[in-house]
Structure 1
Amino acid sequence: MSVDEVHDVTPARATVYGMWRALSARDWDSLKTFLASDCIYLDMPVGPAAAARGPDDIVKRLKIGLEPLASYQNFDGLMVSDGDDVMYEHHEEWHWPTGESAVLQFVTVHRVQDGKITLWKDYWDMGALANHAPPTWLADFAEADMSWVFDATGIV
C-alpha cells in the first residue's frame, strides 16, 4: 500500500512512509531529511549499546548492511499509530552479488515529533539474516567503520 492509497494518513505515518520509501531506494540524502538531528536508531537484537545517533551516523550504520547488496527492497505491511508513536510491520528482501538472499520480517517502532523521526527501533531475527548471508557477512561487518556507535543504554 502506498501513502497515496491510505485515506487515514496522519502526519506521523506520512513521515514514516516517506522515510521507508527513501530507505528502500537507498536514497541516503532523502532518508536523512526524515530524521531529527538527535534521532536514535537501534537494532533491538544488538541492543542500545550499539545504537547510532543523528542522520549522518544512522546512514553510516545502515550502509554497512545495505550498501554492499545487489538489491534491497522494503515491502509494506501493517502500520498503526498512536499520536507520535508509529508501529510498522514489514519485510525486507536482501540480495547479495554472490547470489545469497534473505527475507527478513520486521516490526519497527518510530517516534515522530515535529515531522521528524526521533526514535527508530527495529525488532527482527538476526539469525534469519546470519543463516542466509554470505559466509563473510559477519566478518565484513566486524571490519566496518564503527565510528557511528552511540551507547543509548538508559535512554531508550
Structure 2
Amino acid sequence: MTQSIQRPQWADASSEAARAHGADEALVLEFMDALSSNDADRLIAYFADDTMYHNMPLPAAYGRDAVHATLAGLFTVMSIDKVDTFYIASRDGVVFTERVDLLTALPTGKSFELPVTGILHIRDGKITGWRDYFDLRSFEEAVDFALGG
C-alpha cells in the first residue's frame, strides 16, 4: 500500500536539515525507509545486541530479542506504510528526527498520519537505543483501535 503523506506546512523537504550529514544520520534515514517493509526479521539487523526500543507511551523493550518480538507484535496489528523524515540532526552518536509516519491499523483498515519525534543512539553502525515520542491517544482515536491496551 503506497499512500502519500500530507506534508505539514512547517516541513521543508528541500531543506539541508532533511538530509543526512554523516554515517549515523545516513543509517537512520535508511532504517526509516526500511520500516515500511513491516518485516521484523529485516529490521532487527539494524540493532546491536544490547539495544533498547521504546514507543514512549508503551512499555520499553530491552535486548535484541525483545526488540524483535516487539516489532513483530506491532506488525500484527498495524502497518507502517510510509515514513517522511523532515528534519534530522546528530551529535556524538545520538540522532534526532522529526517525521510523520503513515500508519494503518490492521483490525480496522484505517490509516493515520502520526507526527513523531525520534531519538536513536548509534554505536559502531548499529542502533543501541530508539525512542519515539508521539500522541498515542490521537492515533487510537483516528483508527478506532487501542494499542495501549
Same fold, TM exceeding 0.5?
yes
**SS at 2:50's partner residue?**
strand
Report whether the alignment pairs 1:100 with 2:106.
Answer: no
Identical pairs, percent: 26
List runs of 5+ in structure 2 lacking aligned partners: 1-12
**Scaled by the length of structure 2, what TM-score is found?**
0.76
**SS at 1:77's partner residue?**
strand
- Number of residue pairs matched? 132
Report whether the alignment pairs 1:61 with 2:73.
Answer: no
Residue 44 of structure 2 is aligned with which of 32, 36, 39? Answer: 32
Residue 20 of structure 1 is aligned with which of 13, 20, 32? Answer: 32
Residue 73 of structure 1 is aligned with which of 66, 71, 82? Answer: 82
Separation of aligned partners in 2, 1:107 and 1:62: 18
- Is contact 2:47-2:64 (8 Å) kept? yes
1:70 CA displacement: 6.0
Flag the 1:131–1:79 CA change in 2: closer, same or farther, 3 A: same
1:56 CA displacement: 2.9
1:129 counterpart residue number: 139
Q: Quote the RMSD (CA, aligned, Å).
A: 2.3
Structure 1 consecutive aligned stretches of length 4 or more whose deviation exceeds 6 Å: none
- Is contact 2:117-2:134 (8 Å) kept? yes
Q: Is the deviation greater in 8-17 or in 107-116?
A: 8-17
- Is contact 2:36-2:79 (8 Å) kept? no
